[in-house]
Amino acid sequence: MTIHQVLYVLEVAKANSISQAAQRLYLSQSALSQQLRKLEEELGYEIFSRTAHGLTLTDDGSAFVREATPVAETWKQFTAAIQRQQTPDKIRLRLGIGSRVYSNNLFSQVMDFFEANPQIEVTLVTEAGRDVMESLRRGELDLALDRLPVGEEEPDNSRFFFCPLIRERQCVLMKRDDPRAGMTGISFRELQDSTMMSGLEDSAEDRSMREICRKNHIKFSRVYRSDGIDTNMRLVRDGMGVAMGPESFADYFRVAAVPLVPETWVSLQFICLKSSLKRPEARQFRDYLLAICKQRETLAGGRT
């Protein structure tokens, strides 16, 4: 048994899905399945019961998870302590980057900040569909630059800090020669029976889409799911369906963007736990971004 196998079991138990756990662990699904099988063979019992509806813990598996949880926490503390000893002069920062950072041409300026602050060792997490709020809660990210998921536009103010950086109209994205591309606005009801692009099943993006459908009583004829925004936008460019996104996606991904009616505005946000703002580098990075976005707003005459 290895510590990695123990951590793999805990991640699969949290996700109730090998595919979702594999994404979080940056492993292939087959590699993760192989490690689980090896561990079960060594232990002599099944940890998970595999059904048509997913994975559930067996009784032995539940006992394993119960005993393994404090071991994993101790391992996390141990590795963090070793890393601090190895690079005591480095400040580690895990930053989640949403697609709007790229489409608004903010990424190069984000990297300018870290080039100017070499003492910060940054890890960029750009996984499509990542649940930003949950990743911050679990300590997988220190900061995030992304939109708030549908349903969490007003997160727990007692625990989270967030501020808008760039405000954009939410649009329906479609092929440039789509007959609807010349419309000045489009409502959700006009999307009834359309084909929609979404993130992987039960991802933050997919949950947002389902919430939109529920609120507006609409049903799509088909949904194509992908864990990559580039794949979804290629499908849109090919006329395979439509997607939801900000106005800036139009030029960036070479698609048409028709504003939603009634008008809906969504912001690229700086998001973190309030406890993270105790870190000087987090406050410095926030102030840097706010200054850049304020300057952009001034140059654009207030139209950001």
- Segments of the chain assigned E as strands: 48-51, 54-57, 91-97, 120-125, 143-146, 160-174, 195-198, 222-225, 243-246, 256-259, 265-273
d(CA 54, CA 50): 6
Query: Which stretches of the chain score pLDDT less than 70?
Result: 83-89, 128-130, 149-157, 298-304
pLDDT score at 194: 93
Q: How confident is the model at residue 150, as a pLDDT?
A: 59
pTM above 0.75, yes or no: no
At residue 283, the pLDDT reads 94
Q: What is the CATH number of the domain that holds 7?
A: 1.10.10.10
* Amino acid 214: pLDDT: 84
Euclidean distance between CA atoms 109 and 112, whole angstroms: 5
| Structural domain boundaries enclosing 159 | 91-166+266-299
Query: Domain check: are 123 and 154 in the same one?
Result: yes
Residues near 122 by beta carbon (within 8 Å), at least 6 away in sequence = 93, 94, 95, 114
Number of domains in the chain: 3
Q: Is residue 281 part of a domain?
A: yes
- The pLDDT of residue 302 is 47
C-alpha radius of gyration, the chain, whole number:
22
Query: What is the CATH number for 152?
Result: 3.40.190.10
284 shares a domain with 153:
yes
The alpha carbon of residue 110 and the mean position of all alpha carbons in its chain are separated, in whole angstroms, by 18
pLDDT reported for residue 304:
43
